[in-house]
A and B are shown apart, each in its own frame.
Chain A
Amino acid sequence: MKSAVIVFPGSNCDRDVAVALEKFHIKNQMVWHNETELPKCDLIILPGGFSYGDYLRTGCIASKSRIINAVIKHEKNGGLILGICNGFQILIETGLLPGVLLRNKKLRFLSKNVFLKALNINNHFCLYYKQKKVIELPIAHNEGSYFANSNLLQNLEDNNLIAFKYCDQKGNIISDANPNGSSNNIAGILNNKKNVLGMMPHPERLIDPILSGEDGSLMFKSLFNSPT
């Protein structure tokens, strides 16, 4: 498994993702936003942060950056793409994932650990969450409230494209456990081909027992062991 992390001006989780990839033996290269071609890779990661200062709209300018055509091409060829936090926002703006991400319901930035339920584990990203009833990961965002109209929500639910939903510590998907007001408690979604995952929580921030958990490790383990 080979990966490429796209670095935009204002990305600030690029290093953290690179550290996680290295820890789980995924050979990674950093790619500057001004490039037009990608190195040979199976997986692209769009990291968290504030690409281009979040100006105009989160993820919007990144979706028009020079490298983005290569990212779209990679998806068309069936390559894997993982967008975390700002990366998820970029995927939405690029049109690689449907819906929109609105400001959090309470209109303030929210940084805390949340509980998640993996609803679709039959994909390259989530295989190792099979045994895990409840996942704990940190979120840190201002615009993470996933919104979709009822048709789209139905489509996501019917086709099993919701990867993660916010839940309580026991795994109940209830509105009290929804930190940002996302429709249907959605924390992460897949595209139809299930080669693109966008999610607000940060798996790269929890890959070490000393940081109070390893639930992020499972995603990188899944990716490392997925067939390429």
Chain B
Amino acid sequence: MKITNEIINKHGIKPHEFKKIISLIQKEPNILELGIFSAMWNEHCSYKSSKKYLRTLPTNNKKVIQGPGENAGVIDIEDDDALVFKIESHNHPSYIEPYQGAATGVGGILRDIFTMGARPIAILNSIHFGSHKHIKTKNLLNGVVSGIGGYGNCVGIPTVGGEVKFDDSYNENILVNAMAVGLAKKNKIFYSKAQGINQPVIYVGSKTGRDGIHGASMASAEFDDNTEEKKPTVQVGDPFTEKLLLEACLELMKDDSIIAIQDMGAAGLTSSSVEMASKGDLGIEINLNNIPCREKNMTPYEMMLSETQERMLLILNSGKEEKAKKIFNKWGLDFSIIGKTTNSRNLVLNFNDKEVANLPLSSLSINAPVYDRKWKKNENQKKVNMQKNFKSFKILDSFKKILISPNNSEKSWVWEQYDSTVMADTVQKPGGDSGVVRIHGKNKGIALTVDSSAHYCLANPLMGGKQVVCEAWRNLIAVGSNPIAITNCLNFGNPEKDKIMGQFVETIDGISQACTYLDFPVVSGNVSFYNETKNKAIAPTPTIGAAGLIKNLNYMMTKNIKEIGSHILVIGKTLGHLYQSEFFREVLFFKDGPPPEVNLFNEKNNGYAIQTLIAKKLVNSAHDISSGGILLALTEMCISGKIGAKIKIPNDNISIHEYLFGEDQSRYLVEINEKNIKEATNILKKNSVYYEIIGKTQKDKLNVDKEFDIKLSDLSKLNSFWFKNYFKEN
């Protein structure tokens, strides 16, 4: 087949990139080789636009066992236990085919975890949809949620946390970010680096079909009017096979048969074989006739670019083939020796006794393009005078509007579709500040959260980047854990545009500053660019997944109010920042202005103070104050504890709206008993932590100053109204 400009273009390769290919391999590539380049050089696999900036993130401290660059990050959680985790996007496929797109997103991230030798113990997700009024939203929401559930529930891993958000900017580019977390022994981590020559290369798992061909390239381009035509590029998931693959891999990992292992994710067999061999500075030779195929007459091109799910590539210690085969056969999975490692440093593919491709691996990995894209500083949003506009709004009426808005509604409609209790170690289910899972057989636990705040990032990417890291940190603190590390999923528009690239650069800077200050390294992650349709990009959406350790679960904290008659304290200073708040957005429909400032010193200091209070057992309940402000946070604490509260605004420097709805950062609400209040406030004073005692808990009513007095059950009904109404389940 003649390689024409049209074919090159269809493969997403720019003319100057094609020239670079020729100079790297000293020949004109054939169609298979071109396909391999397109799979390896696209944005999704090569990180060519983001690499330069990702390198600036803090990725190390003494708890990090493996940072970015492997299938997942690994951290030390003491007692020889290691936690393996990563977050990944599956945005483009989920928009085209929501159920399968979301399901295979979960499948892919789970494989990243058990590839490392870890048994997955938790799943989380962050999903963003367009306006609820948009024609596609209901179907997408329904499909994505059932897809996530359909996959995770079947594999039998609990979903313990997540977030669901709606905004116009996702109307034609939804986001589906899935995070998985696994547990391994510190000295039994498996990596993807090939070692030794003439070692057998093994294919295991599902048979290769024609699904998902060019999936990674699809995720590296904007959508247009022909998006529907891309349906065949979406893979189809089979969670049953995943469960078998998981058990088979973990069984084989009990001894030393495996040298290296890599899942066949984006760009399938191509990227897995290239990555394993190039990491080991070796060559790899594959006989494509040995690939288990689902369909007849599959071409080498299709085999190399298929993204059929539930497949793994292994390099075994030679001599272990029979033993491994027995295990995979027991689980009813394909097992085929497809090639060997060589010292050629080339990727060599043979088919029907002919060499069909031969490429230097360096041309696909270290010599792949890296771009220093042009970027423009963001025009950050400024304050405008809003004072007189909002004071006439009644507090209770405004609050009701916030409570029934899709973004602030209680989300049990969503998370009840995810099995949250399988494995019988879920200590905190979705709905709290963080999910908490117990380390099996021990009395310690892991706190997990995912967070994003896209409208803060849109208004000011630097501040937004800082804020979202702090938000995750705070959510971990609030359940009594010690934050350890994060994984990030960076969802942006087209990086070839300087404005979008600017959002990316500044967001990374913000994340980097916060992570460095809080000693909260980034151990894994993923970048998703081109979330853009017909020139309209999503709001910059960095999603942070974070993990913390609770050494003794008896010290775990929850948000539900425990007792009548205890004190309610606001920890941290309330300045009344209303720009970008839920009050401005949902009640005034005003979306401009800067996000709240993040003061990293206060963040850390307030967080440490909360940790001290929890460690001394002085706190009954705690909750992070985030979007919606004090009033929403307090209401959530009351509803979940079925106990009310009576509060007074403690100062008159700011208006009642600003006090109750302001979204100033680094704040918590805590409930403290009368007998502990003195000791607790002494600790806060000693540590220079600003606090205010705003009221006391009481029976089943929420009473706010002179503003309102309302039954909790009424608030609860409002808060759980939206989803059921949207899906007509009332």
Contacts and interface: CB of A to CB of B under 8 A. Distances in A.
Interface of A: 9-10, 12-13, 15-16, 19-20, 48-50, 52-55, 106, 108-112, 138, 140, 142, 202, 204-208, 210-211
Interface in B306-337: 331-332
B729 A50 contact: no
A49 B156 contact: yes
Contact of A108 (B146, B154, B238): B146
B422 A205 contact: yes
A55 B422 contact: no
A48 B422 CA distance: 9
Given A10-B154, A49-B156, A55 B416 contact: no
A16 B418 CA distance: 18
Contacts of B244: 9-10
B553 A16 contact: no
Contact of A205 (B154, B415, B424, B729): B424
18 contacts: A10-B240, A12-B155, A12-B156, A16-B423, A20-B424, A50-B239, A53-B154, A53-B238, A54-B240, A108-B149, A111-B416, A111-B418, A112-B416, A140-B419, A205-B422, A206-B424, A210-B427, A211-B438
B518 to A, nearest CB: 28
Contacts of A10: 154, 240, 243-244
A19 B244 CA distance: 21
B426 A211 contact: yes
Task: Name the interface size band of chain B.
Answer: 20 to 34
B427 A207 contact: no
A64 to B, nearest CB: 15
B621 interface: no
Contacts of B238: 53
A142 B154 CA distance: 11
A111 B160 CA distance: 12
A52 B243 CA distance: 10
A154 to B, nearest CB: 31
B420 interface: yes
Nearest to B556: A210
A111 B417 contact: yes
Contacts of A109: 146, 149-150, 153, 416-419
Contacts of A142: 153
B100 to A, nearest CB: 15
Contacts of A55: 240
B424 A207 contact: yes
Contacts of B425: 211
Nearest to B443: A210
Interface in B569-602: none
B243 A50 contact: yes
Nearest to B415: A111
Nearest to B418: A111
A47 B553 CA distance: 28
B146 A19 contact: no
B612 interface: no
B289 interface: no
B198 interface: no
Interface string B400-431: 00000000000010011111111111110000
Contacts of B153: 50, 109, 111, 140, 142
B416 A16 contact: no
Nearest to A53: B240
Contact of A52 (B155, B240, B420, B426): B240
Contacts of A140: 153, 419-422
A113 to B, nearest CB: 8
Nearest to B331: A9
A12 B422 contact: yes
Nearest 4 Cβ contacts at the A-B interface: A12-B156, A53-B240, A140-B419, A16-B424
Given A12-B155, A54-B154, A109-B153, A205 B421 contact: yes
A210 B553 contact: yes
B127 to A, nearest CB: 16
Given A50-B243, A210-B553, A111 B419 contact: yes
Contact of A9 (B240, B416, B418): B240
A20 B425 CA distance: 12
B421 A138 contact: yes
Interface string B154-189: 111000000000000000000000000000000000
B444 to A, nearest CB: 11
A51 to B, nearest CB: 9
Given A109-B153, A210-B438, A13 B240 contact: no
B447 to A, nearest CB: 14
Contacts of B331: 9
Contacts of B443: 210
A222 to B, nearest CB: 19
B243 A204 contact: no
A221 B551 CA distance: 30
Nearest to B238: A53
A16 B417 contact: no
Contact of A202 (B417, B421, B729): B421
Contacts of A106: 729
B332 A9 contact: yes
B149 to A, nearest CB: 5
Nearest to A15: B423
Contacts of A207: 424
Interface in B191-242: 238-241
Nearest to A14: B156
Nearest to B440: A19
A12 B150 contact: no
Contacts of B239: 50, 53
A106 B146 CA distance: 13
A7 to B, nearest CB: 10
Nearest to B156: A12
A199 to B, nearest CB: 15
Contacts of A211: 421, 424-427, 438
Interface string B132-158: 000000000000001001100111100
Contact of B416 (A49, A54, A110): A110
Nearest to B332: A9
Contacts of B241: 53
Nearest to B146: A108
A9 B412 CA distance: 30
A49 B154 CA distance: 7
A82 to B, nearest CB: 16
A199 B424 CA distance: 17
Contacts of A210: 427, 438, 443, 553
Contacts of B150: 109
Contacts of A54: 154, 240
B153 to A, nearest CB: 6
Given A13-B156, A13-B422, A205-B422, A50 B240 contact: yes
A112 B553 CA distance: 22
Contacts of A108: 146, 149, 417
